[in-house]
């Protein structure tokens, strides 16, 4: 019987690197690093019933209309998108107790209505500004209460307190169809 | 001392490449984890608009994509230039959305199904009409979590 060699023969691992490299190259090529981002929205539930008209106090409603020419009508006044954020913030918080603006942040409602001919870009921009207004208010509130920026690190309980004080209420009306593109 | 010297041969020892696969594997795993397979072949032109208030989409398995845009140049002879919907690899209509969403739902564990998100990748230049139709359809089938895909824009 042949004596067993004491050291086991080394397995040639040089091809292992080749295999791994091949896989690596494959993933390098197929990879796209950028993560998907976007504006997250929760749509309202669909109901067949006609929703009954709820009478809102006029001062609590911040109506934003966007027409097919991408012009903005904010509370019956022509407005630029650049000013929308400041306007919305002022409306929600109403720091000077203006009787025309919202009674309190938690009674404020933003009503957004667009046309079928509104460009998607404008729509997103308007939505973004309105969301930004709330984000800024949340941040300010968070700094006041917790001395901490409103971010993902903030505990959920603290977030909930802020969101209860300044709830994001945006209602979207069925759009008008004046400027619809003929398909 | 001589005991050790005996083993050493005359030729210089080869550099061991045994650890090379390990290094490469680490790189490989890194890319495997962060990878996202290249998007489906786009048949519609989509340049998503810019925005600032963006949120990340966390779990890719819980997301399905709905593309809306004008057909690419090479499809315009057949499909025209009016905005269209693309689901998976095909042109589709609003009526195809329920089945598409349902098919995706089947691949997701039941306890996670309420976290499924529709990512609307819509071209910035098209009008809201078709987007509205899609939104209405999604509401009707109870798929309420929606994400409007957008690129990041620095604050003004």
Q: How would you classify the pairing of strands B44-45 and A109-114?
A: unpaired
Are A37 and B150 a contacting pair at CB < 8 A? yes
Are B129 and A181 a contacting pair at CB < 8 A? yes
Sign of CA dihedral B125, B126, B131, B132: positive
What's the pLDDT at B22?
Answer: 83
- pTM summary value: 0.78
Q: Is the pLDDT of residue B156 over 60?
A: no
Is the separation of the CB atoms in A130 and A170 below 8 Å?
A: yes
Q: Is the pLDDT of residue B9 over 60?
A: no
Domain count for chain A:
1
In whole angstroms, how far apart are CA B33 and each of A20, A174, B27, B60, B122?
15, 42, 10, 12, 27
What's the pLDDT at B4?
Answer: 59
- Average pLDDT value for residue range B140-146: 92
Are A31 and B34 a contacting pair at CB < 8 A? yes
What's the pLDDT at A3?
Answer: 53
DSSP conformation letters of A39-74: EEEEPPPP-SSPPPPP---GGGEEEEEE-TT--EEE
Closest residue in chain B to residue A132, using alpha carbons only: B53
CATH code assigned to B44-152: 3.30.420.270
Tokens at residue A54, please?
A: 């709820």
CB count within 10 Å of CB A70 equals: 19
Instruction: Tell me the C-alpha distance between A133 and A1, whole Å.
Output: 86
The answer, for A11 touching chain B at a CB cutoff of 8 Å, is no
In a domain, A46, yes or no: no
pLDDT tens digit string along B73-92? 999 999 988 999 999 888 99
Q: Please, which pLDDT band fits residue B37 given cuts at 50, 70 and 90?
A: low
In a domain, A15, yes or no: no
CB count within 10 Å of CB A103 equals: 13
Sign of CA dihedral B64, B68, B69, B73: positive
Q: Where are the domains of chain B?
A: 44-152
Tokens at residue B144, please?
A: 């309420």
Q: Tell which residue, A94, A88, A97, has the closest CA to residue A134.
A: A88
Instruction: Tell me the C-alpha distance between B98 and B141, whole Å.
Output: 7
Point out the residues of chain A with pLDDT beneath 50. Answer: 1, 183
What residue numbers bound the domain in which A99 lies? Answer: 60-172
Strand residues in B42-126 grouped as ranges (E): 44-45, 50-51, 55-56, 63-71, 84-87, 90-92, 117-122
Predicted complex ipTM:
0.76
In a domain, A180, yes or no: no
Report the percent of chain B where pLDDT is more than 70.
88
What's the pLDDT at B27?
Answer: 84
Q: How far is B71 from chain A (nearest CA, A)?
A: 13
Q: Tell which residue, B143, B63, B149, B59, has the closest CA to residue B97.
A: B143
């Amino acid at each position: 019987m042949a004596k067993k060699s004491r050291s086991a023969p080394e397995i040639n691992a040089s091809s292992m690197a080749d295999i791994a490299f091949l896989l690596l190259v494959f993933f390098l090529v197929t990879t796209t690093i950028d993560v998907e981002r976007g504006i997250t929205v929760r749509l309202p539930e669909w109901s067949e019933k006609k929703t009954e008209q709820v009478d809102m106090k006029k001062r609590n409603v911040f109506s934003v209309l966007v027409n097919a020419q991408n012009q903005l009508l904010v509370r019956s006044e022509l407005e630029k998108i650049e000013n929308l954020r400041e306007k919305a913030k002022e409306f929600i918080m109403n720091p000077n107790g203006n009787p025309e603006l919202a009674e309190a942040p938690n009674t404020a409602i933003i009503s957004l209505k667009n046309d079928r001919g509104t460009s998607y870009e404008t729509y997103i921009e308007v939505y973004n500004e309105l969301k930004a207004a709330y984000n800024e208010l949340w941040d300010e509130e968070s700094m006041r209460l917790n001395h901490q920026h409103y971010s993902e690190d903030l505990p959920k309980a603290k977030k909930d307190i802020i969101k209860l004080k300044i709830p994001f209420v945006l209602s979207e009306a069925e759009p008008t169809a004046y400027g619809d593109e003929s398909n | 001392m001589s005991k050790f010297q005996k083993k050493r041969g005359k030729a210089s020892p080869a550099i061991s490449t045994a650890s090379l696969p390990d290094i490469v594997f680490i790189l490989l795993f890194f890319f495997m984890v962060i990878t996202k397979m290249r998007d489906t072949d786009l048949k519609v032109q989509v340049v998503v608009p810019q925005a600032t208030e963006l949120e990340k989409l966390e779990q890719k398995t819980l997301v399905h994509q709905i593309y809306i845009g004008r057909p690419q140049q090479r499809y315009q002879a057949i499909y025209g230039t009016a905005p269209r919907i693309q689901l998976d690899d095909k042109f589709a209509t609003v009526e195809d959305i329920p089945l598409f969403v349902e098919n995706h739902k089947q691949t997701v564990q039941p306890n996670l199904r309420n976290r499924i998100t529709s990512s609307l990748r819509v071209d910035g230049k098209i009008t809201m009409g078709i987007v509205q139709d899609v939104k209405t359809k999604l509401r009707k089938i109870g798929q309420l979590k929606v994400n409007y895909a957008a690129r990041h824009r620095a604050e003004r």
